[in-house]
């Protein structure tokens, strides 16, 4: 069995984490990789653009059927990417981490990991709330590499810094930051400087694009909808960078005052 690249993608809510995961998966599939995507966010929207629709979540499925088959919870999407969503409680009720834990245990029980020779497994993990769901992919050794999606905006990088604190506490490897641009001044410089400051690096840059948004409205990745576009090529480059990445971080997250001082240097 080949060595599986097990990746967890974190980031502030709304930063484009799920978009990055889906387009990365599609790019890996186009390169002939055997890919699985596991959505670990209660919103359960990671795999929509891979499968063309929202999937029934594992948590909801087992409420109706205590012994589901693999076909009840795993679906094949674009390029043969196997997709599943853990699901979670409704807003304001229960812990988001419970859905992730239950989902992972069920996937193990059904032999999903042992019976498939995956090249890449990608986890899309909620990043704003540092609860049990945040910790599962790293604490339970499901993921070996972590990537944070961030823009150069203050709150996005503030969240990235907090996430890096959690990664360090869990002894995870922050293998890089994906700069998902929002079009602000000096954005690439800000994110690159931040990455270096905390002991990691920028692994790729995705420019702001209406093509990505219009693709999502049709429940497709830009890789599928516009395969010859610059955007699709950028995701392909990012996939190659991650595939070939062996970087081991030495994390040194900033405290709040250090982060404030860092960001103020870029405000003219």
Q: What are phi and psi of 5, to 5 degrees?
A: -85, 110
* Alpha-carbon separation of residue 190 from 117, 121, 193, 214, 229 (angstroms): 39, 30, 5, 28, 26
* CA–CA dist 25, 142 (Å, integer): 17
For residues 103 and 60, the answer to whether their CB atoms sit within 8 Å is no
* Alpha-carbon separation of residue 131 from 134, 166, 234 (angstroms): 5, 10, 32
Of residues 45, 72, 119, 128, which has the active-site annotation?
128
Crossing angle of helices 256-264 and 187-198, in 10° steps, is 150
For residues 150 and 177, the answer to whether their CB atoms sit within 8 Å is yes
Q: Give the single-character DSSP code of 123.
A: E
Of residues 6, 17, 33, 225, which has the active-site annotation?
17
128 in catalytic set:
yes
Closest CA to 234 of 209, 262, 198: 209
69 in catalytic set:
no
Of residues 31, 43, 197, 201, which has the active-site annotation?
43
Structure tokens at 182: 């929002």
What count of other Cβ atoms lies within 10 Å of the Cβ of residue 4? 16
Burial 132-153 (b: 16+ CB within 10 A, else e): ebbbbbbeeebbbbbbbbbbbb
Of residues 12, 33, 168, 220, which has the active-site annotation?
12
17 in catalytic set:
yes
**Which residues are marked as active site?**
12, 17, 43, 128
């Amino acid at each position: 069995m080949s060595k599986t690249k097990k990746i967890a993608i974190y980031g502030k809510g709304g930063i484009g984490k799920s978009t990055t995961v889906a387009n990365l998966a599609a790019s890996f599939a186009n390169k002939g990789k055997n890919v699985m995507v596991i959505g670990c966010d209660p919103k359960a929207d990671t795999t929509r653009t891979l499968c063309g629709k929202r999937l029934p979540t594992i948590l909801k499925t087992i409420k109706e059927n205590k012994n589901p088959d693999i076909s009840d919870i795993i679906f094949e999407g674009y390029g043969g990417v196997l997709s599943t969503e853990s699901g979670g409680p409704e807003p304001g009720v229960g812990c988001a981490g419970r859905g992730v834990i239950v989902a992972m245990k069920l996937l193990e029980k059904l032999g999903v990991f042992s019976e498939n020779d995956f090249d890449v497994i990608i986890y899309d993990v909620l990043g704003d709330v540092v609860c049990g769901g945040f910790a599962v992919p790293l604490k339970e050794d499901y993921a070996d590499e972590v990537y944070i999606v961030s823009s150069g905006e203050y709150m996005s990088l503030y969240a990235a810094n907090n996430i890096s604190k959690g990664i360090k506490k869990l002894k995870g490897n922050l293998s890089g930051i994906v700069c998902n641009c929002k079009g602000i001044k000096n954005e690439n410089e800000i994110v690159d400087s931040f990455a270096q400051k905390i002991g990691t690096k920028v692994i790729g840059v995705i420019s702001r694009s209406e093509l990505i948004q219009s693709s999502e409205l049709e429940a497709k990745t830009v890789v599928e909808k516009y395969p010859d576009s610059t955007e699709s090529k950028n995701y392909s480059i990012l996939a190659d960078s991650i595939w070939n990445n062996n970087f081991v971080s030495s994390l040194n997250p900033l405290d709040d005052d250090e982060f404030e001082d860092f960001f103020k240097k870029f405000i003219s």
